[in-house]
Amino acid sequence: MSEEGSTGQTDAAAPRLYLRPLAQGVAAPLDPKQAHYLSVVLRLPPGAAVLAFNEADGEWVARLARARRTDWSLTPERKLAPPQRLPDLWYLFAPLKHDRLDYLAQKATEMGVCRLMPVLTERTHRQRLNIDRLRANAIEAAEQCGLVSLPEVVETAALGDVLSRWPPGRTLIFCDEDRAGGDPLRDLAAVRRGPLAVLVGPEGGFSPRERRQLRALPHVRPISLGPRILRADTAAVAALALVQAALGDWGTATPQVTD
């Protein structure tokens, strides 16, 4: 996609923003941060082409317009792509400190998870979590990596409650530091394709009780992430990359489905 807009700017070079709702010919107002980014940081003039997308309306070429000095909007002109259906992969994680949590939400989104699920474990330090901030990080990553979708961000829940309500048919891949030294690919070879979830523990790891509880559940598959103990945010990226390559949309067997 590289057609020229009225300003001579190409679609491919256009900045990309998450915005909703989007409908052809209907001006969608920008929030002050988005307006500042386009008009001040990027110095785009009215009429410039911007790519706008969301998980419900897909991706559009839109035109920038200004009603008053600070009131900016985007009007979708041409649809480029329908919404994407993300791989059916949930990511369960124990909340970490702010900057590492930002990183974690961004990387999990880039890795293609469809749901971000903060869980409280016995050794979780952070009990309060800013869901809006998690979502803002997911949006930033989706804008950057070309997703025409957005993972759902759910409220924090205790690990025990999540496990007691676990849906039938979804395999939970449990990253178990006690299995360090094992072979992750061999562990994953025993996991069947289908709805999946990945669980990574907090800085302090899982307690023996949690580990026993997890290992006793029939839908839980413990895996190793290699010979070294990884930081929780590193473990997240490693685990999701392994799972996407072995069972998800990095392989050819389960291409990304579009609606």
Give the binding site for ligand SAM (CB under 6 A): 175-177, 179-180, 200-201, 203-206, 224-226, 228-232, 235
Compare residues 110 and 177 and give the one whose CB is closer to ligand SAM: 177
| Of residues 66 and 126, the one with the C-beta less far from ligand SAM | 126
Q: How far is the CB of 222 from ligand SAM (least distance, A)?
A: 8
How near is the Cβ of 212 to ligand SAM at its closest, in Å?
14
The answer to whether 105 touches 129, Cβ cutoff 8 Å, is no
What minimum distance in Å lies between the beta carbon of 194 and ligand SAM? Answer: 22
Q: Which is nearer to ligand SAM, 195 or 226 (CB)?
A: 226
Taking the C-alpha atoms of residue 123 and residue 211, their distance in angstroms, rounded to an integer, is 12
Taken in order 163, 167, 169, 174, is the CA torsion positive or negative? negative
Q: How far is the CB of 232 from ligand SAM (least distance, A)?
A: 4
Q: Is 151 exposed, middle or buried (0-12, 13-18, 19+ CB in 10 A)?
A: buried
- How far is C-alpha 61 from the chain's CA centre? 23
Distance CA 238, CA 105 (A): 14
Least distance in angstroms from the C-beta of 8 to ligand SAM:
49
Structure tokens at 206: 């899982």
CB 17 within 8 A of CB 31: no
Give whichever of 161 and 183 is closer to ligand SAM, judged by the CB atom. Answer: 183
Whether the CB-CB separation of 5 and 45 falls below 8 Å is answered with no
**DSSP labels, 117-170:** EEEE-TT-S-----HHHHHHHHHHHHHHHT-SS--EEPPPEEHHHHHHTPPTT-
Structure tokens at 57: 């309306």
Using the minimum distance from each CB to ligand SAM, give the nearer residue, 1 or 158. Answer: 158
Shortest distance (Å) from residue 93 CB to ligand SAM? 9
Q: CA–CA separation, 217 vs 221, rounded Å? A: 9
Shortest CB 221 distance to ligand SAM, Å = 12
Strand partners for 63 = 49, 75
